[in-house]
């Protein structure tokens, strides 16, 4: 394995650029290539974290998409505004789609490592075509759902989403 060289700040910028590139090109790449690039990114990230190159608030957000069946038990945590459907798709891939429900699109995600992280959801609630609203692709308001999580986990999630997506956040609990 090659040794990381250069200043820590330069390496952090490079890993964040790689993360953004994965999101931006996700729609254009074949699934196999996305998985290959994600694996390379994850190895680089874990290596940098293990070496102590990434510390505290400098760490890159650990958010991954998971199976929709793992979303059971999430409920309103807050709202996210100013983030487009296309931005969410570029970062997290295509959402699960529903028809005739109060939700038209949903992403089921995990924040943090599998053993200590938590499941959360991003979805439109009663503001899309299934509920008489405009196309979900024009939506800029999304609901954040989660199970029971601590105040520190909420703040960490808010910071990670802000870093990855921009926008503004209103957490209700």
What digits encode the pLDDT tens for the residues 150-163? 998 998 898 888 88
- Distance CA(87)–CA(85), nearest Å, equals 5
What digits encode the pLDDT tens for the residues 54-87? 554 444 458 888 877 677 789 999 999 999 999 9
Mean pLDDT of the chain: 78
Helical residues (DSSP H) of the chain, grouped into ranges: 8-25, 31-50, 85-92, 151-165
Position 120 scores a pLDDT of 95
């Amino acid at each position: 394995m090659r040794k990381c060289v250069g200043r820590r700040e330069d390496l952090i910028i490079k890993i964040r650029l790689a993360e953004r590139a994965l999101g931006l090109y996700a729609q254009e790449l074949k699934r196999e290539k996305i998985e290959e690039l994600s694996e390379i990114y994850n190895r680089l990230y874990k290596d940098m974290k293990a070496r102590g190159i990434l510390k505290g608030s400098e760490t890159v957000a650990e958010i991954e998409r998971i199976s929709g069946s793992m979303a059971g038990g999430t409920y309103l945590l807050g709202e996210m505004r100013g983030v487009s459907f296309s931005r969410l798709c570029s970062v997290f891939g295509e959402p699960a789609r529903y028809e005739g429900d109060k939700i038209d699109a949903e992403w089921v995600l995990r924040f943090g490592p599998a053993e200590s992280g938590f499941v959360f959801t991003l979805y439109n609630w009663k503001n899309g075509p299934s509920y008489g609203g405009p196309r979900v692709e024009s939506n800029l308001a999304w609901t954040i759902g989660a199970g029971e999580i601590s105040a520190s986990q909420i703040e960490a999630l808010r910071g990670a989403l802000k870093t990855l997506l921009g926008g503004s956040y209103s957490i209700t609990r």
